[in-house]
Amino acid sequence: MELVNIALKGIFVENMIFAYFLGICSYLAVSKTVKTATGLGAAVIFVLGVTVPVNWLLENYVLKEGALSWLGPDFAETDLSFLAFIMFIAVVAAIVQLVEMLVEKFAPALYGALGIFLPLIAVNCSILGGALFMQERQYSTIAEATVFAVSSGIGWFIAIVAIAAIREKIKYSHIPAPLKGLGITFIITGLMGIAFMSFSGISL
Amino acid sequence: MSEKVKEPLFSKKNKKLVTDPLSENNPVTVQVLGICSALAITVSIEQAVVMSASVLFVVALGNVVVSLMRNLIPDRIRIIVQLVAAASLVIIVDQILKAFVPDVAAKLSVFVGLIITNCILMGRYEAFAMGNKPWPSFLDGIGNSLGYGWLLIVVSIFRELFGTGKLLGKEIFGNAIDQTGLYGMGYMNNNLIILAPFALFCVAIVIWVQRSINKNLIEH
């Protein structure tokens, strides 16, 4: 039940884009057509689902205060949490590189679909944001962290596919010239954010 | 080294590096970089100022560091090297904020860490510092973070004033609970303004105004 709750929260209530604006740079840049948006969205789910559990292990067995106690009593009070940023981003960059190579080798068809988006994702705020929220909210088991990661990814996917679909249609509308492109996309995202706010407070 | 050959520190070209990103080539409204944090932390002026100062520090110094190492960095792993440079600087900023302004640091929460993936950083490191000398890179970093900063501060002034009726924590419109000042006449704060979606409308309005003035920036 707890897991379902985390999943619902990740997808709707605390949607990465509409509640925290994470990964909104690539959200704006790659949402011109539904096809590319789907590709990037799938890549984000995938990378979040891999990196957050790894960072959870890192956080709980290396970085947190007392996390190193498995090395012996001398390490029981070591607190490396100030290293979190550099470790998380290194893990994200390394895993993205690794995933890119593995996918290219073993699933060329998937690589054709995701290929160009994977390197972009290392600097997508939502990936590092996922790791930092995981740290801040202190999920107690790796299952919770994984469910959180995948559902946040799904939320991000829904958001980017929705905006891409709207942008494809709105291309033919008459809007004031200075608002064309970027401006109107901001306003639509804001309206969608207000719509998503109606989910707030829902929990099982 | 004779003085004649050397380019003056503030030549016309160098000045342009600082002034260009303020309007014509603004990182937020024109290059569409660094939006995530620009939207999330503009609820109060204090947060916006602290965030802009942190970004200024990380972009300007990071630009210098990357620029000094530009001939040593192998092409294939340059992104990781840039990320490590950024992450080290952000750790310094984070520790300083936690030590001196703990309450603001707590409000900014994950967004200090997210400076690492702020696209302005990677954009400037990759596009400018990798191909230019340290001094122009430093100025470029200053210019871009000022361009980012003024937008943040404008949006946050608007949101704090109309969302909470305060500026920098001072009550401008009177006290809402005691019904003094404007509140006595029936004025109410618009709570929608401090919620997340309104930040998007604010930035859209800035973009609208900017593009109405400067027609070259209109997209077709």
Among B114, B202, B210, the strongest candidate for a mutation testing the A interface, having the largest count of A CBs within 10 A, is B114
**Residue B149: exposed, middle, or buried by beta-carbon count in 10 A (0-12, 13-18, 19+)?**
buried
Q: d(Cα B64, Cα B137) in Å, to the nearest integer? A: 6
Measured in angstroms, the CA of A22 and the nearest CA of chain B are apart by: 6
Measured in angstroms, the CA of A131 and the nearest CA of chain B are apart by: 10
Q: Given the structure tokens 């988006």, which residue do they identify?
A: A117
Reference A123, options A87, A85, A159, A93; nearest CA is A93
pLDDT above 70 (res A203): no
CB contact under 8 A, B79 and A21: no
pLDDT tens profile B135-182: 888 988 888 888 888 888 888 888 888 877 777 777 777 776 777 777
pTM of the prediction? 0.82
Residues in chain B within 8 Å Cβ distance of A136: 109-110
Question: Would you state the pLDDT for residue B7?
Answer: 59
Question: Would you state the pLDDT for residue A38?
Answer: 86
- Listed in sequence order, the residues at least 6 apart from A75 whose beta carbon sits closer than 8 Å to its beta carbon are A68, A69
Residues in chain B within 8 Å Cβ distance of A81: none
Residues in chain B within 8 Å Cβ distance of A191: 197
pLDDT tens profile B16-30: 777 777 777 777 777
**Residue A168: exposed, middle, or buried by beta-carbon count in 10 A (0-12, 13-18, 19+)?**
middle
What ipTM was reported for this prediction? 0.78
Confidence at B1, pLDDT banded by 50, 70, 90? very low
Among A14, A86, A125, the strongest candidate for a mutation testing the B interface, having the largest count of B CBs within 10 A, is A125
Strands (E), chain A: none
What does the DSSP 8-state code read for residue B216? G
Domain ranges of chain A: 2-201
